[in-house]
Amino acid sequence: MRAEFLNSMEGAAEPAPIEDWVTPVPSTARIENYAWMTPAPGISRYQGYRRLAQMSPVKYSVENLEYDGAFSVSLRDVEDDQVGGYKLRMRDLVEKSKTPFKSRLILQTLAAGKSTTCFDGSNFFATSHNIGGYATSIPGTSGNTGGNLLGVTAAATSDGLTHRFVMLVKDSVLNPMIYQTRKKPNFMTDAGTPQSSKAKKADFWIDLEAAAAFGYWWNAVMVEITNTPSVLELIGAVDCARQALRRFELPKALVTDPTEYPHEQLVISPKTAHVVCSVGLETLFDRVVTQNLLGVNQAGSTSGLQVNNAYYGKFSVTTSNHLN
């Protein structure tokens, strides 16, 4: 049983797609302080003197939390196990401590971004931010004044349901999500000890210490859709997210700095963009990313039109219950 655990721990886990848009950060303390997250000054023509900018006194603290998984098994039950079921149970616990746990923690944190602050003191997903933003609202959205939380109302139905998706983009400096690791999963057991023999049972457990947190908010856009949309309305909502990404302006360290748009030259592709969507949008997003031509019924006619899909194959998709 011990060998089964150790062999499972040694196996490498395949990263989940969401991890490509997460910056891993090693941690050596209980609480990590990210005081360096304000963007660097812009680059302008030299005027004969140095334009020395003062870094903003931003303090973003992320606490590592302890996690564990454990179970106890009767030694007599182990002796009677003829099919290796307890080995499978141990292997299952080990595998859960790898990719599934990490991805779930990241997705839970991402979904909580509407009510959780990021480095600039405002919620990660907000209609406006304290640092950065853009001047004009996105056509077709409501309640947005330069932030990364957009509201869209669909007309295809009036079911009153709310659907959400988040568009994430990679950043060479800091991705939209952070995963800090202080203690990797560590397996322990009292199997084979006198205490285990006396109790006629063996305990098996895994401990780890980690945290998921937020990187740069301008690398993510959440869109909330009221009513279930048609596939064309969903494409329109995706386009609103694209426009927001293009318009984001980095904060200026000096008033004389040129305006910097971090995503104006972004080439949207599965290597650079990813969407996390609620369950209700899963089949619609499947059509968005896999169908080049979309059929649309014409008003007053039984015939249909074939329209080109501008977002065919442009990004990858992960479905998450946490966004429901």
Strands (E), the chain: 22-26, 31-34, 60-63, 65-74, 149-153, 162-169, 177-189, 201-214, 220-226, 273-277, 293-297, 304-308, 316-319
Average the pLDDT over 62-82 and give the result: 86
Domain membership of residue 228 (yes or no) is yes
pLDDT in tens, 219-234: 999 999 999 999 999 9
Is the confidence at residue 109, as pLDDT, over 90? yes
Question: What would the mean pLDDT of 117-121 be, rounded to a whole number?
Answer: 93
| Number of structural domains in the chain | 1
Give the mean pLDDT of 59-81.
87
Does 57 map to a domain? no
Whether pLDDT at 5 is above 90: no
Q: CA 176, CA 215: separation in Å to the nearest integer?
A: 4
Residue 77 within a domain: yes
Place of tokens 């285990």: 196
Give yes or no for residue 1 having a pLDDT over 90: no
pLDDT confidence of residue 301 = 45
Q: Which domain range does residue 16 map to?
A: 2-42+63-323
Quick one: 217 exposed, middle or buried, by C-beta within 10 A (0-12, 13-18, 19+)?
Answer: buried
pLDDT at 185 over 90: no
Looking at residue 8, what is its pLDDT? Answer: 62
Q: Which residue type, as a one-letter code, is found at position 314?
A: K
Structure tokens at 288: 């968005």
Contact 106, 117 (CB under 8 A): no
231-247 vs 282-290: helix crossing angle, rounded to 10: 80
User: Which one-letter amino acid corresponds to residue 256?
Assistant: T
Show the 3-state SS of 206-246.
Answer: EEEEEEEEECCHHHEEEEEEECCCCHHHHHHHHHHHHHHHH
Residue 230 lies in a domain: yes
Asked if the model's pLDDT at residue 303 lies above 60, the reply is no
| pLDDT score, position 271 | 93
Q: How many percent of the chain have pLDDT more than 90?
A: 54
> What is the mean pLDDT of the segment spanning 259-287?
94
User: Are 2 and 88 contacting, i.e. CB atoms less than 8 angstroms apart?
Assistant: no
Q: Is 56 a member of any domain?
A: no
What gap in Å lies between CA 37 and CA 171, rounded to an integer? 13
> What pTM does this model have?
0.86
Q: Residue 56 has what pLDDT? A: 65
Is the pLDDT confidence value at 201 over 60?
yes
- The Cα–Cα gap between 171 and 169 comes to 7
- Could you tell me if residue 25 is inside a domain? yes
Is residue 20 exposed (0-12), middle (13-18) or buried (19+ Cβ within 10 Å)?
middle
Residue 137 falls within a domain, yes or no?
Answer: yes
User: What's the first-to-final CA gap in the chain, in angstroms?
Assistant: 39
Structural domain contains residue 58: no
**CB 250 within 8 Å of CB 195:** no
Q: Is residue 100's pLDDT more than 80? A: yes
pLDDT above 70 (res 3): no
